[in-house]
Amino acid sequence: MALVGAYILLDGYDRKGDILGDVIPGDYFSGEMPDPYYLVLKPADVHNPDDVIRYSGSIMGRASDLDIFERAAFYEWYFKSHGFDVSFAYAEDFAGTGNEHLWLLAKNQKGEVIEVDPSFSDVGGRSMVPLDPAYTRYDREYMDIFEAADGLGQHRLAWWKDEKAYKVRDVNVLLLEKEKAQRMAEA
């Protein structure tokens, strides 16, 4: 059975019309937003704020070449795909610097908000989960990538054009395909 599942995964990988959509792994240079955008990955312990830090650490190196807006979008995709209730916070003039900024708002089941700034070091912050009151002041909250793309422009959020970042999606798509093949082999 495992051999059949591996064959389906490796040789019979259709890439088109499956439950993951029409995006071909490694297609990061097309410029198109992945479809479907969010994946349903192994859920995090969304009740535990420490899981935000743990999950951040697992992708930090893959986001190093992204600018501030792309990095926020990449983390939002990753968190949301793991079940976190996360949205974007946008400030036109962050902390009186005259610069725009984009970070994340992660909400737990009690409705408490944890500010998460994947680009904290780029704006002089000390931690990815800042306690600075500047993070509680923003001009607009975007609930997902689609709202943010409408408000800020998809091109500003396009982390999927970066090879290192997109490989995280590739790996997760392949894991989902492997799980699908295993379920089919067991049936």
Q: Domains of the chain: which residue ranges?
A: 2-186
Q: Give me the DSSP letters along 153-167.
A: -HHHH-GGGSHHHHH
Q: How many CB atoms lie within 10 A of CB 183?
A: 10
Classify the C-alpha dihedral 25-28-76-116 as positive or negative: positive
pTM of the model: 0.81
* 156 vs 67: CA distance, rounded Å: 9
The interaxial angle of helices 68-81 and 163-186, nearest 10 deg, is 10
Q: Give me the DSSP letters along 72-110.
A: HHHHHHHHHHTT-EEEEEEESSGGGSS--EEEEEEE-TT
Per-residue pLDDT of the chain (187 residues; tens, 9 = 90+): 333 333 333 333 333 333 344 445 555 555 689 989 999 888 877 667 677 778 887 788 889 899 999 999 999 999 999 889 999 999 999 999 999 999 999 998 888 899 999 999 898 888 898 989 999 999 999 999 999 999 999 999 999 999 999 999 988 888 888 888 888 888 7
* 100 vs 93: CA distance, rounded Å: 5
Q: Which one-letter amino acid corresponds to residue 154?
A: Q
